[in-house]
Structure 1
Amino acid sequence: MKQASMHVASLTLDETNPRYATKTGGLEESIAALLAKDDHKLLRLARDICQHGVNPSDLTIVLIDGGQNVVLEGNRRVAALKLLHNPALAPTEKLSKQFAAIGKSGEFPRRLTCVVAESRIQAEHWIRLKHTGENGGVGVLKWSSGEISRFSGRSTPTEKARLFIEAVNDWFPDDSSLLSDAQSVRDARITNLGRMIADPAVRNRLGISFDGDVVLRSYPADKLRPILVRLFHDLAGPVSVDQIKNKRQREDYLERVEGELPKLADRLEEPQKYSKFADAESVGGNGGAPEAPSDTPPKPERRKRADFEKRLFQGVTLRHVSLRTSDVVEEAKRIKIDEMPNVAAVMVRAVVDIVVTEVANKLGWKRNQDTLKGRIGAVLNQVDPKKDDPLLANAWRFSQEDDGALILKSLHSFVHTWQNDPLSSEVRKLSAAYATLLIKADELLEKKKR
């Protein structure tokens, strides 16, 4: 068997796939049969492809038969890709809309690296090994619970601390003082740094996150420099482990260095990435590695998700609204979007409505208060009358305009439509879009007090 790059549109599903009870008659019928078996699993696969790409360790097996590229292995992933490219292939309008929404939430490839089999018999051995268990050790051996635990925990805080120091060296190669302190921390206080960056609250305020061997930086380097200079100076010198041992102590430290922390308004639209393998990935054949064959497409870039995006309204602190409203926001910020997407979706709607309604009441606004759209619009017109604040662009689009993938009706449907199955990516985008609106609304109350 040989490898070849094939366009997703050129692939056709196997009408005799063992997943079907009977032979199907064409692409749409094959897709309908896969969805009938378990549509939620295929939707989840499509979401994962949009977030992470297609599994590069599991190649699609194709047979060229009568001028058609028939998929022998990988029918589900190919079906998911076809539905992402053309949601109209779904058998129902609801599924079509769901795949369309997923497609707008991320990126997905148009070409796949496939293995071309000469016959079904040639491919049969490998397909059987994949789908029929361990086969006495010849097939795929499942991990034990202990092995799963060791794999999940192998990225320790200390390892992340070392990777973070490498990133700092890359970001600030000319800052000798910062790099000297960073080296001192690496040599003698690495576990202290690991303790700090293992805390989600610290990572959130620094605007850094980790994805495997990648460090993501959510602020420009010059905005991040002051807090990193302070952090490494403190860890290399006066701050001992006894001062940052528990979460409350780390919160106290963040309060002490508040003036050096980056501002939310300076956050980048897309995090900047540092990977210790960047050079090897960007230069073909570096270090003697063989160049990829010309017919092999580049791997789709894995979409990175920063830690601050894991919870609702991260980075939002309201100081001028009522205590009850502030408590609602703080409690909502504890919700992990991927773990509780339905609750998160409802709370996005609730938090936005509670805040803009309170602001309107306290400022005595009477006009445009009958609908949520009107209440949001009233705040937007006050804080961004020229519509030129880039941090509020999505809030305008999602609530006041009729275009875009995520508009105000999504907020309503999360609460009032029981058929709606909110995507984590939708909730995450809405949370990010309205975070700045909440902060600006809170500032309107501060101006009134003055």
Structure 2
Amino acid sequence: MKVDALSLDLNNYRFAVAQPDEAMAFNDLFEGEDVMSVARSLLHEGYRTNEVPLVVEEEGWYVVLEANRRVSALRALRDPSLVPNHRHKLEALVKRYQADADDLPDEIYVTVYPDRGSAAPVLARQHIGADKKSWGLDEQARFVLAQLAGGADVATLKATLTGIKDVPRLVRMGRVRQALHSTPFTDPALASYATGRELKMSAFEYAYKDRALRPLMGFEFDGDGNLVAQPRTPAQVAVLERLLRGFEVGELSTRKVLNDKKGADYAKLVDELQQLAGVVSPDAPAPIPTPPTPAPSTVGPPGTPPPGAPDAAPTTSPSGGGTDTKVPGAALVRPNHPDTKRKLYVTVDFSRLPSGLQKRFLELQRIDVEAFPAAAAMLLRSVVESSVKHHYAVRGDHRVSGTLNEVVRRLADDYKKVVKSLDKQISLLQNGLSPRLRPGSGDWFNAAAHDPNSVVNDQQVREAWQELEPLVRFLIQPPVSSTS
């Protein structure tokens, strides 16, 4: 078959989540699976014809089920623009080894299977054995779930997928990963970490398999590994988030705490999580009875709090027909004002972006703008510039490149006075708003990066982000399908 007629599998088990299009799939494979080394190998050693890709025909497309890394490398060497994030490196590589690149085949042999189900046992033998680059446990779990979705059951998989030692374990891993995608997290950055490559299920299973911790998170499984309960309540989500933060910063990733059930650190962790979940340990001392509050000397109308108590804030009743009064003395917790926080208030959803751009958003969300305002400004510039390039790349235009000034010029040509809500942000980046060094303007970004006399403070960074966040949100949203 023609190499250019082969499509990458957007549901490749190597992906943490299914990719929306081929550009994203190419970027993910090159960044997460080191396909650049495969490309170099093809140039140095040539294409080996004894390794035949496995293909299935779906809706008129020939989709590569096995050999996505090799096919993506072969296609990218023929057309580097297919991989926006690595285009320049590929172009340089091809130029350096032009004769070898010209010798790469236009057509290759493939084996076509009638459907994914018939190809599954072959894929399992190759990637859960030693024939190919082995799938990790996350990839094996996604593979197993795909077979279950295709109509197989666990008993059948145990009998047919002999390379897998513990099918229910992989089902649990896959179901937990799916549950994390639908968990109502309170922290978008933590949600991105939980559903991305960085969280390894082989480590996190030390938490969800733990008899003391599992019920606090709300996870429960049947004998086949399928979920019968998952985190839903605020308390369960709070426990889950606390554990995920521990894995994210390395506190729990070594497994020492969770693997030492008799250790002081484990006992301390369980006690902390029980408090988050509102569970009283059976060993905790009985609470001391609170003496009754004396009746106030002055009684007001019904619903009036006693003297000295805070005013009760009215809240709309569920029916919408009146107000309820909060319990006198209850604390009313409000979020901190964004301008009082040491970190930026990032609310955009960047969970489906390429991993490189995701990491920049995560850094932007976590950087201490009071301690590192200049670094935060330069990171913000990178996020804005990269978001513009990503916006055009996923729409098939890989020519938008260069500096912030150059990509904003293209943005202005396409959207200024067309999408009215973006006029202010585009004008700001083009230095069209006064003062000249207004936070978020092109001149302000340039001064922060290049002017040795420029001084950036934390409030300027906050103002710049607040001005540009609506534009960034627009840029990273997926393209709208042209079909109805």
Same fold (TM over 0.5): no
TM-score (structure 1 length as normaliser): 0.31
Point out which structure has higher relative CO (alpha carbons under 8 A, 6+ apart).
1
Larger radius of gyration: 2
